[in-house]
């Protein structure tokens, strides 16, 4: 690491500590030439995940959009905030583990529905009704019948 004062390339690490969040390491360094000390932070380089929307436009993945969508679906349902955070975290980890630079918004919607189906069926149907743009009562009934059919068949 180059010294910010004299630009010497030889510096040594005096102390290393994790940051409070645990996502970075704080290092105190000392220059071998001028003796001055400075602090650096080391963190994982994150790949920006781009979401390809239905109309073909692209935008950076926004965890808060996933969180807000799940929170709306779970509104007035007995789903604790910790469970909602867990679902969002699992979706985000799954997307990052794919190591793709772009993902279709429809794929994210399906991941959200998978999580909701496991946690709260009412929240699942609420999200699906908006996401799949249910246009009439028959579409609702068909989705609920599919859900009930999976329960009777042993799947969830």
CA distance 113 to 122: 11
pLDDT greater at residue 5 or residue 131: 5
**What pLDDT band is residue 82 in, cutting at 50, 70 and 90?**
very high
Both 21 and 64 in a single domain? Answer: no
Q: Which residues of 39-51 are buried (b: 16+ CB within 10 A; e: fewer)?
A: eeeeeeeeeebeb
Q: What is the pLDDT of residue 130?
A: 84
Six-digit token pair at 26? 């704080």
The dihedrals phi and psi of 142, each to the nearest 5 degrees, come to -60, -40
Q: Which two structure tokens, joined as six digits, stand for 85?
A: 């955070």
Q: What is the mean pLDDT of residues 106-116?
A: 95
Q: Is residue 36 part of a domain?
A: yes
Residue 1 inside a domain? The answer is: no
Q: For residue 128, is pLDDT > 70? A: yes
pLDDT digits (tens, 9 = 90+) for 7-42: 999 999 999 998 877 778 999 999 999 999 999 998
Provide the pLDDT for residue 153.
Answer: 60
* Structural domain containing residue 131: 50-152
Instruction: Specify whether 36 is located in the same domain as 68.
Output: no
Residue 27 shares a structural domain with residue 86: no
């Amino acid at each position: 690491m180059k010294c910010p004062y004299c630009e010497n390339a030889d510096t040594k690490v005096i102390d290393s500590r994790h940051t409070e969040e645990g996502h970075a390491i704080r290092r105190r360094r000392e220059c071998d030439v001028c003796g001055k000390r400075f602090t650096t932070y080391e963190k994982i380089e994150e790949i920006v995940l781009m979401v390809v929307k239905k109309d073909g436009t692209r935008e950076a993945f926004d965890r808060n959009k996933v969180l807000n969508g799940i929170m709306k679906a779970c509104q007035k349902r007995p789903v604790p905030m910790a469970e909602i955070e867990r679902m969002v975290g699992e979706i985000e980890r799954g997307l990052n583990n794919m190591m793709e630079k772009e993902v279709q918004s429809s794929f994210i919607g399906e991941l959200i529905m998978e999580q909701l189906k496991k946690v709260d069926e009412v929240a699942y149907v609420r999200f699906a009704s908006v996401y799949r743009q249910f246009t009439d009562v028959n579409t609702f009934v068909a989705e609920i019948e599919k859900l009930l059919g999976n329960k009777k068949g042993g799947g969830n």
